[in-house]
Amino acid sequence: MSKPLNIDRLRKEFPILKTKINNNNLVYFDNAATTQKPIKVINALDYYYKNINSNIHRGIHSLAEIATKEFEKTRSIVKKFINAKNEEEIIFTRGTTEGINLVANCYPKKYLKENDEIIISEMEHHSNIVPWQMICKEKKLKLKVIEINKKGELDLNSFKSLITDKTKFVSLVHISNSLGTINPIKKIISICRDNDIKILIDGAQASPHININVQELDCDFYVLSAHKMYGPTGVGVMYGKSKLLNEMPPYMGGGEMIKNVTFNKTTYNDIPYKFEAGTPNIGDVIAFKEAINFINEIGKENIQNYEKDLKNYTLEKLQNIDGLKLVGDAKNRIGVFSFTIENTHYYDLGLLLDAKGIAVRTGHHCTQPIMDKFNIEGTTRMSLAIYNSIEEIDYFIESLKKIINK
Ligand SMILES: Cc1ncc(COP(=O)(O)O)c(C=O)c1O
């Protein structure tokens, strides 16, 4: 059951929202780049370093045991958050980028051969393009690209027409960080299943906003970043089906990922540790669980409902501004709005908004192929999160109008 949110109370959990920027209240609309952190995440990090800092998994002293327990608790909470079958399917990474690189390096080594084909789309973040280009070059694989239409939606016919008997892997963004488009990934995964194709979903933008259920989706890999979901930077998750993770070779070699090392032969550890070489980002992983607790306490349904209202409100206001052109007009979308303004460069607009305390992002948003598709160099991007308010949106729209009409 959804319930109305007390946004004033919720905002108080974010100390940074009291900050003044250029003598104005901070209005933070750069949430697709990174979200702000609630006090419980900040406190957890502080507590870790003040009280339980220790390396994990290999110590028998009390601190090592406590830190290990706290670290592994996050794995268990992540497992529930995305409904994975078991904890060994949850690999901690530095973020979405590392998760994709891990799969792009390890999966093809085990399963792909020369001339096999990998499909991505025109709306991918650079981190879901470049790792595939690199491995395709190295292993002589072919990279194919699904087209998007003028609204910034995936063209499913284009996808189907790309599939051949050599197509072995699809890597696709769940929600576009530039266009806000929510992709029909269930449909796409089902097409992959029918054609015996494995699929990775880039959930960097989806994980803070919509419910993720990897078993129901039946995707093979799902990657996300903690910092985009109210958690710390430097932590991410790569979910993979255990059968694949067991069969894939490790990504990095080093401590933790081994069972036994001699100069003749090294045996690897079981999953998830096989993919977690070296000392991980312990404190941030521990603090990440508080970010998930924060989301769980509000509830994904409540988050979706509130953010949907914010999104619809913003969309209507933006559509009524003369000279403003939205880039991407997907029917199914979240509150990420890229736009251009006639006769105003996005950098200038970003600076003028900053003077009013409003943080937006400007540029190509690590999606240059989308910019090429729409024949532009960059946009101004405004992106919403759970702590944003209608008052902030009104202030933003008024500020935009003043800048445009000057
Ligand atoms: C859709 C998408 N994929 C991947 C990434 C990369 O995430 P990170 O920089 O946290 O690794 C981002 C970051 O903006 C993104 O929006």
**Domain containing 29 — which CATH number?**
3.90.1150.10
Q: Are residues 195 and 321 in the same domain?
A: no
Structural domains in the chain (count):
2
Q: Is 328 strand, coil or helix? A: coil
Q: Are residues 166 and 150 in the same domain?
A: yes
Whether residue 248 lies inside any domain: the answer is yes
Residue whose pair of structure tokens reads 């206001």 in the numeric block: 317
Reported confidence tier of residue 205, pLDDT bands at 50, 70, 90? very high
Range of the domain at 347: 7-34+299-405
pLDDT at residue 382 in the model:
98
Per-residue pLDDT tens digits for 261-276: 999 999 999 999 999 9
Query: Ligand 1, closest atom to CA 33?
Result: 14
Per-residue pLDDT tens digits for 346-403: 999 999 999 999 999 999 999 999 999 999 999 999 999 999 999 999 999 999 999 9
Q: Are residues 238 and 368 in the same domain?
A: no
Q: Which two tokens stand for residue 153?
A: 């939606």
Whether residue 1 lies inside any domain: the answer is no
Which one of 244, 274, 296 terminates a domain?
Answer: 296
Q: How far is the CA of 205 from the centre of ligand 1 (A)?
A: 7
> Distance between alpha carbon 365 and the CA centroid of its chain, in Å?
13
Q: Are residues 231 and 377 in the same domain?
A: no
Q: Are residues 348 and 265 in the same domain?
A: no
Is residue 69's pLDDT more than 60? yes
Q: Are residues 325 and 198 in the same domain?
A: no
Whether residue 280 lies inside any domain: the answer is yes
Whether residue 154 lies inside any domain: the answer is yes
Nearest CA, atom 9, ligand 1: 97
Please indicate whether residue 224, judged by its CB atom, sits closer than 6 Å to ligand 1. no
Q: Are residues 161 and 19 in the same domain?
A: no
Q: How far is the CA of 404 from the centre of ligand 1 (A)?
A: 31
The residue whose CB lies within 8 Å of the most ligand 1 atoms, and thus the one to mutate among 177, 178, 221, 224, is 177
Q: Are residues 292 and 399 in the same domain?
A: no
The residue whose CB lies within 8 Å of the most ligand 1 atoms, and thus the one to mutate among 31, 35, 123, 125, is 125
Which one of 265, 296, 327 terminates a domain?
Answer: 296
Which one of 296, 316, 345 terminates a domain?
Answer: 296
- Mean pLDDT of all residues in 35-45: 98
pLDDT at residue 2 in the model:
58
Is residue 1's pLDDT more than 70? no
Please indicate whether residue 284, judged by its CB atom, sits closer than 6 Å to ligand 1. no
Q: Are residues 62 and 84 in the same domain?
A: yes
Is residue 3's pLDDT more than 90? no
Residue whose pair of structure tokens reads 């093809």 in the numeric block: 108
CATH number for the domain spanning 244: value is: 3.40.640.10
Please indicate whether residue 171, judged by its CB atom, sits closer than 6 Å to ligand 1. no
Reported confidence tier of residue 59, pLDDT bands at 50, 70, 90? confident
Is 192 annotated in the active site?
Answer: no
Query: Ligand 1, closest atom to CA 227?
Result: 10
Q: How far is the CA of 207 from the centre of ligand 1 (A)?
A: 11
- Mean pLDDT of all residues in 287-298: 98
As a dihedral over the C-alpha atoms of residue 209, residue 215, residue 218, residue 222, rounded to 10 degrees, the angle is 50
Using a pLDDT cut of 70, give the percent of the chain over it: 99
Report the DSSP beta bridge partners of residue 338: 327, 381
Please indicate whether residue 125, judged by its CB atom, sits closer than 6 Å to ligand 1. yes
Mean pLDDT of the chain: 97
Whether residue 2 lies inside any domain: the answer is no
DSSP state for residue 63 in the 8-state scheme: H
As a dihedral over the C-alpha atoms of residue 146, residue 150, residue 151, residue 156, rounded to 10 degrees, the angle is -30
Per-residue pLDDT tens digits for 380-394: 999 999 999 999 999
Please indicate whether residue 238, judged by its CB atom, sits closer than 6 Å to ligand 1. no
Instruction: Tell me how many degrees the CA angle 77-82-86 measures, rounded to the nearest 5.
Output: 70
Per-residue pLDDT tens digits for 154-189: 999 999 999 999 999 999 999 999 999 999 999 999
Rounded Cα distance, 60 and 46, in Å: 23
Q: Are residues 85 and 123 in the same domain?
A: yes
Rounded Cα distance, 362 and 324, in Å: 15
Please indicate whether residue 225, judged by its CB atom, sits closer than 6 Å to ligand 1. yes
Please indicate whether residue 97, judged by its CB atom, sits closer than 6 Å to ligand 1. yes
